[in-house]
């Protein structure tokens, strides 16, 4: 139930006083309530659960996480699998 | 081009790097609980548990909303759904969960108007289109789902939709972690915190828990790379004797969380004691409507009563949900209890541990 799917906001509008949007999930577009992220802008990625945006996703943080993994390579070369670090 | 698609976090190359790092730093056995049933399913689906060093045991947590919804709530749902003037709406997972007798699917087969919705907002729309009917939404789920329900109640109130109510059954993660860690049967040494709960709530709430129980907690996402990164950071802390809260899901989670969503929740709901199926009463572990939103509580409109109901004597769902048994410990697993004929909720839900073991063929020879 706590499934959250990332999608890109393509349109933002008001529905009877509630902030709504259209979100593109890799080609499938759905209506998503963005009252929970009123600062969201078209083009940003949101994490969507049960038709609501949980949060705006950070591209910068995603890049940095992946960059951190690159450093694992160095660690792994120093500590081959199965061998314990000193 | 964005780095935010899930495909980036399913990379085989990164998976292998992370597994090698976990192997390199692990010097002894550790028990780590993933709270969220969505993570349990990802772990079994991708076989992540089998890539880890033998001593790292993943214990499956209670983060399956459908599994922990009390028998009493399910019986109340059935009672409401059978009324002639009711349209009962629910997330699909809830329909096949066995109550003491029937489930919502069989109630529907007997003529009840039970409808599956993807979002509670759909239930509000159904109410607006059916003003002569009472439309009830079964409000289950953790903090991830609560903002959607709170916002739907606000939307109904703002637009004068008075035939929409909820059956409140929402639950909260931190009180359950307290319950697990303070239990004499506890064997959890580190936690993977549920990333999407934290996307809403942040992770500041977990800091006193980590300190009090000397247990590291790492906020973890749902893709294989995210989960292995969460495990790596937890093992690093365990090996170093540390017990802090760390964030392995930074693209979605900040320490403070989504303050707007938290504000919406606090406007509509307040903490209440709640009974968890298989676990029992946990103080202040649920959410009830605040007095000014009481008219949206279905209990205000129906006399539902309180019943004490008995579980199947064969089912060990409670022990599975508390992390003290695995589905394999259950003599009924895969025999009397299958997804087609479930005895307990964890065999039904897409987040239940028993369903995950069954689906991904973890059958003991």
Q: Indicate whether B92 belongs to any domain.
A: yes
Spell out where B207-345 has E strands.
Answer: 217-220, 245-247, 269-276, 280-289
A-B C-beta contacts closer than 8 Å: 170
| Helix axes of B120-129 and B146-158: crossing angle, nearest 10 degrees | 20
Q: Where are the alpha helices (DSSP H) in A1-86?
A: 59-78
Q: Looking at the structure, do residues B347 and B210 belong to the same domain, yes or no?
A: no
- Residue B317's closest CA among B34, B60, B54, B48? B60
As a whole number, mean pLDDT of residues B93-104 equals 87
Q: Indicate whether B289 belongs to any domain.
A: yes
- Residue B175's closest CA among B318, B71, B68? B68
- Residue B151's closest CA among B262, B77, B257? B262
For testing contact with chain A, the best of B34, B90, B97, B251 (most A CBs within 10 A) = B251
- The alpha carbon of residue B192 is apart from the nearest alpha carbon of chain A, in Å, by 14
Q: Looking at the structure, do residues B283 and B338 belong to the same domain, yes or no?
A: no
As a whole number, mean pLDDT of residues A41-47 equals 96
Confidence band for B157, pLDDT divided at 50, 70 and 90: very high
Report the alpha-carbon distance of residue B18 to residue B224 in Å, rounded.
10
- Percent helix, strand, coil in chain B, to 5, is 45, 20, 35
Q: Is the pLDDT of residue B182 over 70?
A: yes
Are A2 and B194 in contact (CB < 8 Å)? yes
Q: Indicate whether B365 belongs to any domain.
A: no
The DSSP code for B88 is E
For testing contact with chain A, the best of B1, B4, B193, B226 (most A CBs within 10 A) = B4
Helix/strand number for chain B, H first, E second: 15, 11
Report the alpha-carbon distance of residue B272 to residue B166 in Å, rounded.
16
Count other C-beta atoms under 10 Å from residue B80's C-beta. 22
Query: Rg of chain A's alpha carbons, rounded to an integer?
Result: 19
As a whole number, mean pLDDT of residues B176-204 equals 96
| Domain map (residue ranges) of chain A | 5-78
Q: Looking at the structure, do residues B165 and B309 belong to the same domain, yes or no?
A: yes
Number of domains into which chain B is organized: 2
Residues facing residue B113 across a β-bridge: B87
Q: Looking at the structure, do residues B257 and B341 belong to the same domain, yes or no?
A: no
Q: Indicate whether B102 belongs to any domain.
A: yes
Residue B125 structure tokens: 């729309």
Q: Looking at the structure, do residues B321 and B308 belong to the same domain, yes or no?
A: no
> In whole angstroms, how far apart are CA B13 and each of A66, A75, B4?
11, 15, 17
Whether B227 and B193 have beta carbons less than 8 Å apart is answered as no
**Is A14 an 8 Å CB contact of chain B?**
no
Q: Looking at the structure, do residues B115 and B50 belong to the same domain, yes or no?
A: yes
As a whole number, mean pLDDT of residues B196-219 equals 98
Q: What is the pLDDT of residue A85?
A: 47
Q: Looking at the structure, do residues B259 and B333 belong to the same domain, yes or no?
A: no
Q: Looking at the structure, do residues B190 and B263 belong to the same domain, yes or no?
A: yes
In which domain, by residue range, is B325 found?
317-359
Report the alpha-carbon distance of residue B164 to residue B122 in Å, rounded.
11
Are B155 and A16 in contact (CB < 8 Å)? yes
Q: Is the pLDDT of residue B73 over 70?
A: yes
What is the chain A residue with the closest CA to B247? A65
Q: Looking at the structure, do residues B115 and B219 belong to the same domain, yes or no?
A: yes
Are B119 and A38 in contact (CB < 8 Å)? no
Q: Looking at the structure, do residues B210 and B324 belong to the same domain, yes or no?
A: no
Are A85 and B229 in contact (CB < 8 Å)? no
As a whole number, mean pLDDT of residues B157-184 equals 96
Q: Looking at the structure, do residues B43 and B151 belong to the same domain, yes or no?
A: yes
List CB contacts (< 8 A) between B195 and chain A: 4
Q: Indicate whether B302 belongs to any domain.
A: yes
| Helix axes of A59-78 and B12-25: crossing angle, nearest 10 degrees | 50
Any idea which of B139-143, B158-162, B197-201, B332-336 has the lowest mean pLDDT?
A: B332-336
Residues facing residue B245 across a β-bridge: B217
Confidence band for A86, pLDDT divided at 50, 70 and 90: very low
Report the alpha-carbon distance of residue B67 to residue B311 in Å, rounded.
13
Q: What is the pLDDT of residue A22?
A: 97
What is the chain B residue with the closest CA to A72? B17
CATH number of residue B230's parent domain: 3.40.50.11740
Q: Is the pLDDT of residue A73 over 80?
A: no
CA angle in degrees (0–180, nearest 5) for B254-B256-B259: 110
Q: Is the pLDDT of residue B362 over 70?
A: no
List CB contacts (< 8 A) between B197 and chain A: 2
Q: Indicate whether B364 belongs to any domain.
A: no
Instruction: State which fold the A5-78 domain adopts.
Output: SH3 type barrels. (2.30.30)
What is the chain A residue with the closest CA to B265? A36
Helix (H, G, I), strand (E, B) or coil at A33: strand
**Is A4 an 8 Å CB contact of chain B?**
yes
Q: Looking at the structure, do residues B321 and B249 belong to the same domain, yes or no?
A: no
List CB contacts (< 8 A) between A17 and chain B: 155, 158-159
CA atoms B23, B29, B35, B40: torsion sign: positive
């Amino acid at each position: 139930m706590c499934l959250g799917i990332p999608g890109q906001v393509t349109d933002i509008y008001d529905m009877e006083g509630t902030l709504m949007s259209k979100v593109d999930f890799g080609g499938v577009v759905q209506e998503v309530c963005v009252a929970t992220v009123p600062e969201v802008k078209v083009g940003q990625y949101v994490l969507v659960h049960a038709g609501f945006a949980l949060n705006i996703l950070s591209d910068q943080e995603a890049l940095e996480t992946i960059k951190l993994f690159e450093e694992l390579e160095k660690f792994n070369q120093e500590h081959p699998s199965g061998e314990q670090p000193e | 081009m964005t780095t935010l698609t899930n495909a980036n976090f399913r990379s085989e190359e990164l998976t292998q790097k992370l597994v090698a790092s976990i192997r390199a730093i692990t010097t002894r056995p550790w028990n780590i609980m993933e709270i969220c049933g969505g993570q349990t399913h990802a772990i079994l689906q991708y076989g992540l548990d089998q890539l880890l060093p033998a001593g790292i045991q993943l214990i499956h947590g209670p983060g399956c909303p459908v599994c922990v919804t009390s028998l009493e709530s399910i019986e109340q749902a059935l009672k409401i759904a059978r009324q002639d003037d009711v349209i009962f709406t629910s997330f699909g997972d809830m329909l096949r969960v066995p109550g003491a007798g029937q489930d919502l699917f069989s109630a529907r087969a007997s003529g009840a108007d039970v409808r599956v919705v993807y979002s509670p907002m759909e239930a509000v729309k159904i109410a607006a289109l059916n003003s002569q009917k009472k439309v009830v939404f079964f409000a289950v789920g953790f903090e991830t789902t609560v903002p959607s329900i709170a916002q739907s109640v606000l939307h109904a109130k703002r637009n004068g939709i008075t035939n929409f109510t909820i059956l409140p059954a929402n639950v909260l993660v931190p009180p359950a972690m307290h319950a697990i860690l303070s239990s004499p049967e506890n064997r959890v040494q580190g936690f993977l915190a549920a990333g999407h709960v934290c996307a809403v709530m942040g992770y500041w709430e977990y800091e006193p828990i980590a300190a009090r129980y000397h247990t590291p907690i790492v906020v973890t996402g749902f893709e294989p790379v995210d989960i292995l990164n969460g495990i790596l950071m937890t093992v690093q802390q365990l090996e170093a004797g540390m017990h802090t809260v760390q964030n392995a899901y930074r693209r979605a989670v900040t320490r403070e969380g989504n303050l707007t969503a938290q504000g919406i929740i606090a406007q509509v709901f307040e903490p209440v004691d709640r009974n968890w199926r298989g676990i029992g009463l946990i103080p202040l572990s649920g959410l009830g409507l605040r007095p000014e939103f009481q008219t949206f509580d279905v209990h205000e409109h129906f006399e539902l009563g309180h019943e004490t109901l008995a579980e199947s004597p064969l089912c060990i769902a409670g022990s599975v949900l508390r992390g003290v048994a695995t589905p394999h410990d259950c003599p009924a697993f895969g025999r009397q209890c299958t997804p087609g004929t479930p005895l307990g909720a964890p065999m039904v839900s897409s987040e239940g541990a028993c369903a995950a073991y069954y689906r991904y063929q973890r059958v003991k020879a």
